[in-house]
Structure 1
Amino acid sequence: MRSTTSELNWSGTVTYTAERVERPTSVEQAAEIVARESRVHGLGTRHSFNDVADTPGVLLDLTAIPTDLAIEHGDSTSTATLGAGTRYGVVAPDIDAAGLALHNMGSLPHISVGGAIATGTHGSGTTLGSLSTAVRALEFLGPDGTTRTVHREDPDGPGSVMHLGLLGIVTRVTLEVQPTYLMRQDSYGPFPWRTFLDHVAEIHAAGYSVCSYTRFGDEIGEVLVKSRAEHVPDDLFGAPRLPGTPGDASRTARDGSMGPWWDRLPHFPIDSVPSHGSEVQSEHFVPLRHAAAALDALRGLADRIQPHLHVAELRTMAADDLWLSPSQGEDVFCIAFTWKKHPEEVAALLPDLEARLAPLGGRPHWGKMSSLDGDAVAALYPRLPAFRELVARADPDRTFASAFGERSLRT
């Protein structure tokens, strides 16, 4: 069960301080480890760019525990229950084979379901919540290794879903699913900067899921529209539909062909591992009504941003009531930076970047680089005191505590 994998994150820029990594192959083995260790923390597919998953004790990698997919068809709601360490791209075709679908997926299908939920990972779609909003129930291992189930409708449910690993080890997840569907992807562009800003909300409502790309120059280079409709317009606010590209080993089909949801919602196929090791990331959320102001504010830093930037991806996400959600209370505009592997330079830039977003209520992604301290974070999350109380009740001896939690949430 002990892993010999190097204790590094996805990009090789975070070295975990844990004394070792354990890789159980069953929930029972995971429970035994939790019960005997004084400090333990869950570890997913290592796609975080900070120490959110770290611990001075034992890291528990759950990716070797079988998926054990269980589908329940209901009159009003259907669900899929699966192992938390399962990658989205692995389980999605099996959900589809049951005639069902997830409401959304992230751009990468390689990430684990449990890790994505814990840190607030998301796709795009103005009417679509983060991946965490699909949760109907979570099975936690508590400090003594016993299992407890938290349901979304429980009083503490909204505080338990996006938990950052501080409430226990999640071993199984129950997700709400819907009838299966087909999708297409089409690209439009380029958009002059001002045209895009004048119509940013409308552009991002032009499909089921819409993502835009920029390097903070004079234009938005491409808008990727994922639609459940068979027919789409030939232009979008004057920008033409670009020649399509079929799916290949490096990215999913963008040629307007209809295909399964699990092959169109992600940008990349499960067999492709884009940018692995060559990047660091930060992501920042502002209310959708402030999208144009946020982009203009950041464009003022273009001369400092561009030397370190691969690309910035712009997305939207619907409001929810999860206590630690960046979209808590209001629809948001997401500005995700995929930086070159320049961690020191990015860290030096982030204080100025985040200062420009602060007047607009900018919140950082929990699993990516940020300069915000505990005081700044506390001002952004009105339910944070309630979450701290929940942590104290669920983990009185701080078995699941982390330096990240202590530093950023004051747990």
Structure 2
Amino acid sequence: MNSIITNWAGNITFGARRLLAPASVEELQEFVAGSTAVRALGTRHSFNAIADTAGDLVSTARLPRVVDIDPQARTVTVSAGTRFGEITGTLHESGFALHNLGSLPHISIAGACATGTHGSGDGNGTLASAVRAVEYVSATGELVTSRRGDAHFAGSVIALGALGVVTKLTLDLVPAFDVQQWVYEDLPLATLRDRFDEVMSAAYSVSLFTGWQGSSIDQVWLKRRVDEPEGPVIRPGRWLGASLADGPRHPVPGMPADACTPQAGLPGPSPLRLPHFRLEHTPSSGDELQSEFFVAREDAVAAFDALHRVREAFAPHLRIGEIRSVASDDLWLSPAQGRDSVAFHFTWLPDPEPVTKALHVIEEVLAPLAARPHWGKVFVTRPEVLRGLYPHYDRFARLMRASDPEGVFRNDFVAHYFPLSTLVPE
């Protein structure tokens, strides 16, 4: 490559020999068919080497833009390189919305779905759970479409880029809705432990931010649908011992709140409230690392207690932690596959050595709870352990081998976590 390319955080330098950005699907097909090693590159918001390759990187950002809304089917078909924030306004104006959104509207739709990225809410699945169909270029250059109900569809959505280069996705839509957002501060830990389900179900989307220090949760972000009953939010005043913030807040202490979506109960369209950050603002410099682990909902308090016991091993290396709930889905590699889940997120200071040490401690205490790591973030889970966390691990490995027998899309990351030597025949 003519210039050095890194991920958003700067902790990964890509080793590809070239980066291409085809202007048409036909050009992409020709390119993939003529290459021996390819990986798709999205908005580079993964924190590990999942997108890296010694071969060719390909970006879909220049493919013809597609935003095709089908009002009867309540779906939208979008080009893979599109960022969430680039389509949600159009959807809202057309009377529709996505069921949920992640913290950042800046990330590509294909990349977010391929890694199991999610928002929050007891009834809200991962972003990939909205996918009804996925179109991708296979290792032979063929254009393949997998639809919900097809035999291997559940293995083709959160696929880690291992089946092909995604060109389009069709997503389920819901009627447009407005959201109000409040931030409460200093929720006592004892209250969270005793009333965990009440806290996490208090709004359509709930996020808890904590530095894992002190005797309280730093901030609780409650995002309530305007068309739903009033619920437990009390304004102004206190809620479960927490105080309503007296102004806008940023999740990371000391950071200006102008990058964040409007708070203080100001109603607005869901795409302008469900993400924590505004599309027009970069939420931070990228000078950070991130990790995240999913446990079954019924194990959430046990996971919290386990982490609290070892907090001194990791809290000094944190910018902030976040706790969110995620609804179960049936996608083979989804961190929430088969179980309603709670995700424990860690935004780290950009110092890999102490972060790695902290991760060993975190993963050890969460191991009895079968914690699944986020595919696009930093983790140290051993391949044999990871295999035991996913009931459909072997099915996906077989699908990957059948779809790409020559390993065109098989990079070091995929080879490490899905070694073909362990593949069990069907």
Q: TM-score range by the shorter chain?
A: over 0.9
For 2:67, the equivalent position in structure 1 comes to 69
How far apart in 1 are the matches of 2:55 and 2:197?
45
Structure 1 residue 48 displacement after superposition: 0.5
Structure 1 residue 87 displacement after superposition: 0.5
For 2:88, the equivalent position in structure 1 comes to 92
Cα contact 1:246–1:252 (8 A) shared by 2: no
The 5 Å alignment of 1:371-410 reads: 371-410=380-419
Moved more, 366-375 or 342-351: 342-351
For 2:31, the equivalent position in structure 1 comes to 33
Cα contact 2:158–2:331 (8 A) shared by 1: yes
How far apart in 2 are the matches of 1:203 and 1:330?
19
Cα contact 1:246–1:253 (8 A) shared by 2: no
For 1:12, the equivalent position in structure 2 comes to 10
Cα contact 1:309–1:339 (8 A) shared by 2: yes
Structure 1 residue 271 displacement after superposition: 1.3
Cα contact 1:120–1:162 (8 A) shared by 2: yes
Are 1:320 and 2:317 an aligned pair?
Answer: no
Q: Which amino acid aligns with 1:342?
A: D
Structure 1 residue 25 displacement after superposition: 2.2
Q: 1:4 to 1:211 in 2, by over 3 A?
A: farther
Cα contact 2:6–2:12 (8 A) shared by 1: yes
How far apart in 2 are the matches of 1:255 and 1:244?
7
Structure 1 residue 275 displacement after superposition: 2.2
Are 1:242 and 2:245 an aligned pair?
Answer: yes
Percent identity, aligned pairs only, is 41
Structure 1 residue 249 displacement after superposition: 4.1
Gaps of 5+ in 2: 251-256, 421-426
Q: Which amino acid aligns with 2:105?
A: P
Are 1:228 and 2:237 an aligned pair?
Answer: no
How far apart in 2 are the matches of 1:340 and 1:144?
42
How far apart in 2 are the matches of 1:87 and 1:338?
22
Cα contact 2:184–2:244 (8 A) shared by 1: yes
For 1:168, the equivalent position in structure 2 comes to 164
Cα contact 2:134–2:166 (8 A) shared by 1: yes
Cα contact 1:55–1:403 (8 A) shared by 2: yes
How far apart in 1 are the matches of 2:127 and 2:147?
16
How far apart in 1 are the matches of 2:391 and 2:172?
27
The 5 Å alignment of 1:22-171 reads: 22-74=20-72, 77-171=73-167
Count of residue correspondences: 407
For 1:346, the equivalent position in structure 2 comes to 355
How far apart in 2 are the matches of 1:174 and 1:5?
34
How far apart in 2 are the matches of 1:12 and 1:253?
29
Moved more, 39-48 or 221-230: 221-230
How far apart in 2 are the matches of 1:226 and 1:25?
39
Q: 1:205 to 1:19 in 2, by over 3 A?
A: same
Q: Which amino acid aligns with 1:49?
A: F
Are 1:288 and 2:297 an aligned pair?
Answer: yes
Cα contact 2:89–2:271 (8 A) shared by 1: yes
Query: Secondary structure of 1:190's partner?
Result: strand
Structure 1 residue 68 displacement after superposition: 1.5
Q: Which amino acid aligns with 1:11?
A: A
Are 1:187 and 2:188 an aligned pair?
Answer: no
Query: Secondary structure of 2:360's partner?
Result: helix
TM-score by length of 1: 0.96
Moved more, 48-57 or 60-69: 60-69
For 1:277, the equivalent position in structure 2 comes to 286
For 2:423, the equivalent position in structure 1 comes to none
Moved more, 26-35 or 155-164: 26-35
| Cα-to-partner distance string for 1:327-360 (whole Å, 9 max, x where unaligned) | 1111111000000111121012211110100001
Cα contact 1:281–1:369 (8 A) shared by 2: yes
Gaps of 5+ in 1: none
Moved more, 16-25 or 394-403: 16-25
For 2:253, the equivalent position in structure 1 comes to none
Q: Of the candidates 253, 257, 278, which is equivalent to residue 262 of structure 2? A: 253
How far apart in 1 are the matches of 2:198 and 2:419?
39
How far apart in 2 are the matches of 1:267 and 1:123?
10
Structure 1 residue 326 displacement after superposition: 0.8
For 2:254, the equivalent position in structure 1 comes to none
Cα contact 2:313–2:361 (8 A) shared by 1: no
How far apart in 1 are the matches of 2:397 and 2:280?
39
| Cα-to-partner distance string for 1:26-68 (whole Å, 9 max, x where unaligned) | 2222112111111101110000010111122101111222322
Structure 1 residue 244 displacement after superposition: 4.3
Q: Compute the RMSD of aligned alpha carbons.
A: 1.6
